[in-house]
Amino acid sequence: MTENKEKTTIVLFSGELDKAIAAFIIANGAAAYDHDVTIFFTFWGLNALRKDEQAAVKKGFLENMFAKMMPRGANRLGLSKMNFGGMGPKMIKHVMKKHNALSLPELIELAQEQGVKLVGCTMTMDLLGLQKEELLDGIEYAGVAAYLGDATDAKVNLFI
Amino acid sequence: MTENKEKTTIVLFSGELDKAIAAFIIANGAAAYDHDVTIFFTFWGLNALRKDEQAAVKKGFLENMFAKMMPRGANRLGLSKMNFGGMGPKMIKHVMKKHNALSLPELIELAQEQGVKLVGCTMTMDLLGLQKEELLDGIEYAGVAAYLGDATDAKVNLFI
Amino acid sequence: MTENKEKTTIVLFSGELDKAIAAFIIANGAAAYDHDVTIFFTFWGLNALRKDEQAAVKKGFLENMFAKMMPRGANRLGLSKMNFGGMGPKMIKHVMKKHNALSLPELIELAQEQGVKLVGCTMTMDLLGLQKEELLDGIEYAGVAAYLGDATDAKVNLFI
């Protein structure tokens, strides 16, 4: 049934607000055009999926350090340019609101509503000590093999 | 008529000299092989298209701040690595000249001569307060839908 | 004979450990699925291919400066995030070892064993003054035309 649909995949490797916004705008656009869309979150990209509140999970020392040093969720990401210790993201969020552009949490919600498949990279989660309880609900979990399976069927494959 | 041509698209998201050079070298190479090539400039990538001189446009406070903080044009971009407060770009430009490699402004000119379609992302332009008068002549303007239309027909789609 | 194989290409532009690891995990995964895989190393990405030991090659002043300032080989790359003056890469290497994940030098070796084509971008090598003697054995050398030839035949093309 989905065989005839165009497919689009995005690897979101970067953990920055601006890159995550670009990824979700492209993903939501493609979904609106009725593509099957997968975003595969790996390395720092996983931070965009972290829940706002701290999950009650047990971690080792290094895993705890990673968890503390990395931004917890879409609202806390920095910018790849002009971050200025957090002023940059505030400015971007301000102008986005002013122009009625969706915020990153809203873009993520829209993606889930549109059926964009959000996949957490299990290998990176192991490495960084991130657990499913810490990530948003409705995420799928897989490794590079699943990503390649989707990408091989897709025409648009981006690494962001 | 262009239906049988190979198609290549590049999203230039990054505003750094080295990444912009890579984007234009690939784009010009593909155009030389008779591909239909589109570069879609979004976020910081738009800075590569800014005119060298300051355009006489009216802006709000935030838009003015963005305009001042972001590099004005291809000659003012920094490097993604080893920028060293501007020394890195000078070194790179020096060795490129020494090896008779085209500079970024020359690569942009060549792309326009070869018919590479340069498209400014209207959504980002709104957000950052960039106006058409501030960008090079001969640029097209469109949103993510137009990009996806091109990308779906293309075999090579890169996000830089 | 290789005509019916799926093809995957990666441009490795970035010189960071985390991005190089991501590139090689995808490349090795694709090779395991019997794709023809090419990684095209350009700009800072070439540093991942430098030999650990210093090669006895003659260089000009600028080329020497570049050679000294850029990390010499896969073991010396920094992280794109949370580098912390070298602590970040140590932490990542530590958790990778703990989880029995292959290190970057091992990933490169595996790629070569699996027949992944590793191609050094001759134009960047000229610019940065990198010579073949300084790079790992078994590397091929080509320009953007060869990359585009591979990419046009491939379904998955990433720029990392």
Is the residue at A131 inside a domain?
yes
Cα(A75)–Cα(B90) distance, integer angstroms? 37
Is there a domain that residue B1 lies in?
A: no
pLDDT of chain C, 160 residues: tens digit per residue: 456 899 999 999 999 999 999 999 999 999 999 999 999 999 999 999 999 988 888 998 888 988 988 999 999 999 998 887 888 899 899 999 999 999 999 999 999 999 999 999 999 999 999 999 999 999 999 999 999 999 999 999 999 9
B36-41 vs B7-12, strand pairing mode = parallel
| Structure-block tokens of residue B100 | 């008779």
Question: In angstroms, rounded to a whole number, what is the distance separating the alpha carbons of residues A64 and C57?
Answer: 45
Q: Which residues of C touch A14 (CB under 8 A)?
A: 80
pLDDT at A3 over 60: yes
Residues of B whose CB is below 8 A from C123: 25, 101
Between the CA of residue B73 and those of B51, B67, B105, B134, B137, what are the distances in Å?
5, 11, 9, 9, 13
CATH number at residue A130: 3.40.1260.10
Share of chain B above pLDDT 90, in %: 79
User: In Å, how far is C56's CA from the nearest CA of chain A?
Assistant: 37
Contacts of B128 in chain A (CB under 8 A): 95
Locate the chain A residue with the closest alpha carbon to C99.
Answer: A127
Residue of A nearest to B146 (CA): A29
| Least confident among A103-112, A114-123, B66-75, B84-93 | B84-93
CA distance C108 to C21: 9
- The answer, for A154 touching chain C at a CB cutoff of 8 Å, is yes
Q: What percent of chain A has pLDDT over 70?
A: 98
pLDDT single digits (tens) B22-68: 999 999 999 999 999 999 999 999 999 999 988 888 998 888 988 98
Question: How many percent of chain A have pLDDT more than 90?
Answer: 79
Residue B45 lies in a domain: yes
Measured distance CA(A159)–CA(C159) in Å, rounded: 6
Domain count within chain A: 1
CB contact under 8 A, C95 and A62: yes
Q: Is residue A46 part of a domain?
A: yes
pLDDT at C56: 84
Q: Is residue C1 part of a domain?
A: no
Chains contacting C with at least 3 CB pairs below 8 Å?
A: A, B
Residue C116 lies in a domain: yes
- Residue B135 domain flag: yes
Q: Is residue C2 part of a domain?
A: no
Chain A contact present for B68, CB below 8 A: no
Q: Is residue A38's pLDDT more than 90?
A: yes
Instruction: Please state, as a whole number, how many other Cβ atoms lie within 10 Å of the Cβ of residue B47.
Output: 25
8 A C-beta contact, residue B127 and residue A82: no
**Buried/exposed A114-148: b ≥16 CB within 10 Å, e otherwise:** eebbbbbbbbbbbbbbbeeebbbeeeeebbbebbb
Q: What pLDDT is recorded for position C1? A: 47
Which residue in B48, B49, B67 sits closest to B57, CA to CA? Answer: B67
Model confidence over A47-89: pLDDT tens digits?
999 999 888 889 988 889 889 889 999 999 999 988 878 888 9
Handedness of CA B39, B42, B45, B51 (dihedral sign): positive
Tokens representing residue B44 in the block? 């910081």
B141: domain range?
A: 7-159
How open is the CA angle C50-C107-A118, to the nearest 5 degrees? 120
- A156/B144 CB distance under 8 A: no
Query: At C69, which amino acid appears?
Result: M
d(CA A69, CA C87): 13
Q: CB-based contact (8 Å) between B50 and chain C?
A: no
